[in-house]
Amino acid sequence: MPEQLSSQVYDAVIVGAGHSGLYLLHKLRGLGFNAIVLEAEDDVGGTWYRNRYPGLRCDVESVLYSYSFDETLDQEWEWSERFPAQPEILSYLHHVADRFDLRKDILLNQKVTGATWDQSLFRWTVATASGRTLQGRFCLMATGILSVPSLPSPELLGDFAGEWYHTANWPKVPVSFAGKRVGVIGTGSSAVQVIPRLAEQAEHLYVFQRTPAFAIPAQNYALDAEYQAWWRTNFRDIREKNRWAQIVGFGDTRMDDSYRVPPVASALDATREEREARYQTFWDMGGGQITLAYPDLIVNEESNRTLADFTAAKIDEIVADPVTADALKPRGFPLGTKRPCLEIGYYEAFNRDNVNLIDVRKDPIGRTAAEGIVTASGATYDLDAIVFATGYDAVTGALLRMDVRGVDGLSLAEKWADGPVAYLGLMTEGFPNLFLVLGPTSPSAFTNCVSSIEQHVDWIADLLVDMRERGDATVEATAEAEEAWSEHAASLVQMTLFPKASSWYMGDNIPGKPRRMLIYIGGMAAYRTKCDDVARSGYVGLARSKESESAPVVRS
Ligand code: N01
C-alpha cells in the first residue's frame, strides 16, 4: 500500500468489498466523499468470492439479486439462469467493480482486525492484520451476514488424516472427489446444494444428517431471449415493486400478482384439496416463497403442519427407500423457521447406490478418527475427505471478530455481551459514526440482501450529506431509540413460530451466542417506511454533535 494512503484521513473507511462495500464506495464517491475500502481477500466479491463449492447458487432470482441503482447496468448485464450460480454472480461483481472504476479505491489483502474511535479527533482508526492503520471520519462495516464460517471444533475434526473442506472456505483450485469416499456433515442450504454434485463424483458419499432441512425445488431455468426482452420492458416496474414488497426477491418474478393474494386468511380455512392445489402451484413455481401461500403459515403451528405434510409427501414420492425417505423428513420445527433450502436434485441423490444417509440424531458422531467418522454405536465410516457444511457465525460473527471500540474504549463485544442492539440495525449507541450494513435487526436475510443493501446505503448516504450540510461532526444512535427498536423487533418475533426452531437466525448454532433473533422480520416495506420516516423527521433517535463540542448534544 502506498505510504500516503495510510497517513491520509478519509471521509469514509469501508470494511469489505462484497455487494455492500462496492455500492457504498460508488455511492459515497459520487457524493464527493473521500472513501476507501479494505478487503481481507485478494479480490472483490465478498461472500461470492470466498464461497465457491460445487453447486453453489443463490436462492434469490438473478434479475433481482443485482443492483438497481444504475439503469444502464440493468440493461447491459444479461443473467443466464433464473437462480444464478456463484461464478456468474462473481463475474457480475467484477463487472461492476470495473465498470464503475471501483478497484482504484479498494485495498486488497487488508484484513481488518480492529477499529477504534478517537473522541478528541472525531475519527475512527482502522487497523489491519498487515499492520496498517487508516483513519476515517466514518467507519462503515460492509462485512456481510454470512461471511464467517462455523469451522469444525477440534473434537468434531478429531485426528482425521484425510482432506477436509468447509463449504464457505472452498479452495480456489477445483477439488476432485473422483474415486474418493467422502463424508458431508450438515444438511442446510450449503449441503443441499453440494451433495448432488459430490454424489456425481465421489466413489461413495455419506451424508451425516443431524437435522433434516425443508428443501423446496428451485425450478431453475435458463433465461431465454423472450425472458430477456420481458425484463428489459418491465424492469423499472419490477424493481420499484420490489423496493416496496413485504418479502423481497423470493419466488417467481414473473408470477402473476393474483397468486400473491391469499384466497383465505388461514391455511385451515381452505379445504384439503384447495390447500394442496395452492401448495402445488407454489411448488411448481419453485423458489423460497412457499411459506407465503397462506398468511398464517409462520404464526400458526397447525397451519404450518399442513405445508410440512405436503412437503413430506413429496419426499416419499421422490426417495425410493422408505427408511431414507422417512429420515429426510423434517420434524420438530415449523417450516420456514429455519431457512428453507432450494434444491436441484437433492432428494434424487439419495436414490443413488453410492449415497448413504447417516442419521446422526439417532446415532451421533462419537469421534472423528484418523480414518474417518465413528458413531456412538461404533459404526465406522472410512473416509478420504470430509466436507463440513456446518454453516456460519451469522450476522454478528464478522463484526465481533474485529476489536471495535467506541466511546471510552467500550468494545462492541462488551456492549453486545447479551446480544446485539442496534437502531434500525444500522447504528449502535456508544459507537459514533459507525454504520453497520445488514446489521443485526435489519431485514437482511428475510429480504433479497441486495435490495436491503441498496436501501441501507442510500439511507446512510442521505444522512452523511445532511450532516455535511449542517456541519455535524458525529452521529450516534441514542440508547432509547435502539432499545425501542430492539423491543419492537423482538415483539414481532414473539408473535411467530421462529422461536420454536434452533436456527442461525436466532444465534443457536454457535455455542455461547446469546439467543436473539438477528433479523428484522417485519418485512422490507415496513422497514423502509420506518427508515424514511426517521429521515423525514430530521433523524429522530440519532444524536449529533458539531466539531466544537466534546460530546453529542444535538438530539432530534
Ligand atoms: O448452514 P446452516 P448453511 N454435527 O447453518 C449441521 C445461506 N445460504 O451453510 O441443524 C452435525 O443452515 C447443522 O445441523 P443442525 C442461507 O441463508 C444460501 O447450509 O444444527 N451437524 C445443519 O444441518 C442459509 O440458511 C444459499 O442440527 C452439524 C448444517 O450443519 C445459510 O447460508 C446457499 C454440526 C448447517 O446448516 C447457512 O446455510 C448456501 C455438528 N457438529 C447458504 N454442526 C443459497 O442462496 C452443524 N451441523 C441457496
pLDDT in tens, 338-381: 999 999 999 999 999 999 999 999 999 999 999 999 999 999 99
Question: Which pLDDT score is estimated for 7?
Answer: 57
pLDDT > 50? residue 58: yes
Q: How far is the CA of 189 from the centre of ligand 1 (A)?
A: 6
pLDDT > 60? residue 23: yes
> How many Å from the N-terminal Cα to the C-terminal Cα in the chain?
41
- Ligand 1 atom closest to the CA of 60, numbered from 1: 45
Ligand 1 cavity residues, CB under 6 Å: 58-59, 146, 156, 167, 185-191, 193, 208, 210-211, 339, 342, 360, 365, 389-392, 445, 504, 509
Question: Which pLDDT score is estimated for 247?
Answer: 62
In this structure, the residue with its CA closest to atom 16 of ligand 1 is 189
Q: How far is the CA of 391 from the centre of ligand 1 (A)?
A: 4
Closest CA to 386 of 148, 211, 177, 213: 177
pLDDT > 90? residue 400: yes
In this structure, the residue with its CA closest to atom 5 of ligand 1 is 391
Question: Which pLDDT score is estimated for 1?
Answer: 44
* Spatial separation of the C-alpha atoms in residues 391 and 394, rounded to whole Å: 8
Q: How far is the CA of 186 from the centre of ligand 1 (A)?
A: 6
pLDDT > 60? residue 42: yes
Q: How far is the CA of 426 from the centre of ligand 1 (A)?
A: 26
In this structure, the residue with its CA closest to atom 43 of ligand 1 is 390
With cut-offs at 50, 70 and 90, classify the pLDDT of residue 253: confident
In this structure, the residue with its CA closest to atom 20 of ligand 1 is 509
pLDDT > 70? residue 552: no
In this structure, the residue with its CA closest to atom 36 of ligand 1 is 188
Question: Which pLDDT score is estimated for 4?
Answer: 44
Residue reference for cell 428475510: 446
The predicted model gives 9-34 an average pLDDT of: 98
Mutational test site, ligand 1, from 148, 190, 194, 502, max ligand atoms within 8 Å of CB: 190
Q: How do the residues of the chain divide into helix, strand and coil, expressed in percent and rounded to 5?
A: 35, 20, 45
* Spatial separation of the C-alpha atoms in residues 122 and 432, rounded to whole Å: 9
pLDDT > 90? residue 554: no
- Ligand 1 atom closest to the CA of 365, numbered from 1: 4
What's the mean pLDDT when you consider all of the chain?
94
With cut-offs at 50, 70 and 90, classify the pLDDT of residue 250: low
Q: How far is the CA of 502 from the centre of ligand 1 (A)?
A: 11
In this structure, the residue with its CA closest to atom 41 of ligand 1 is 156
Q: How far is the CA of 390 from the centre of ligand 1 (A)?
A: 5
In this structure, the residue with its CA closest to atom 34 of ligand 1 is 390
In the chain the domains, ranked by start, together with CATH numbers, are 3-148+394-546 (3.50.50.60)
pLDDT > 50? residue 118: yes
Instruction: Tell me if 425 sits within 8 A of 517, measured CB to CB.
Output: no
In this structure, the residue with its CA closest to atom 12 of ligand 1 is 188
Q: How far is the CA of 168 from the centre of ligand 1 (A)?
A: 10
Q: How far is the CA of 503 from the centre of ligand 1 (A)?
A: 9
Please give the full DSSP string across 357-395, using - where no structure is assigned. Answer: EEETTTS-EEEEETTEEEETT--EEE-SEEEE---B-TT
Cell of 87: 461464478
Mutational test site, ligand 1, from 328, 390, 504, max ligand atoms within 8 Å of CB: 390
Q: How far is the CA of 188 from the centre of ligand 1 (A)?
A: 4
- Ligand 1 atom closest to the CA of 342, numbered from 1: 48
- Ligand 1 atom closest to the CA of 390, numbered from 1: 30
Buried b (16+ CB within 10 A) or exposed e, 271-306: eeeebbebbeebbebbbbbbbbbbebbbebeebbbb
Q: How far is the CA of 136 from the centre of ligand 1 (A)?
A: 36
The strand pair at 106-107 and 35-38 is best described as parallel
pLDDT in tens, 474-490: 999 999 999 999 999 99
Question: Which pLDDT score is estimated for 556?
Answer: 41
Question: Which pLDDT score is estimated for 263?
Answer: 86
pLDDT in tens, 506-546: 999 999 999 999 999 999 999 999 999 999 999 999 999 99
The SS3 of residue 452 is: helix
Question: Which pLDDT score is estimated for 289?
Answer: 85
- Ligand 1 atom closest to the CA of 388, numbered from 1: 30
User: HSE on the CB side for 293, CA within 13 Å?
Assistant: 30
Mutational test site, ligand 1, from 210, 339, 519, max ligand atoms within 8 Å of CB: 210
Q: pTM of the full predicted structure? A: 0.96
pLDDT > 60? residue 248: no
pLDDT > 60? residue 219: yes
pLDDT in tens, 312-349: 999 999 999 999 999 999 999 999 999 999 999 999 99
Which of 178-192, 250-264, 417-431, 470-484 is predicted with the least confidence, judged by mean pLDDT? 250-264
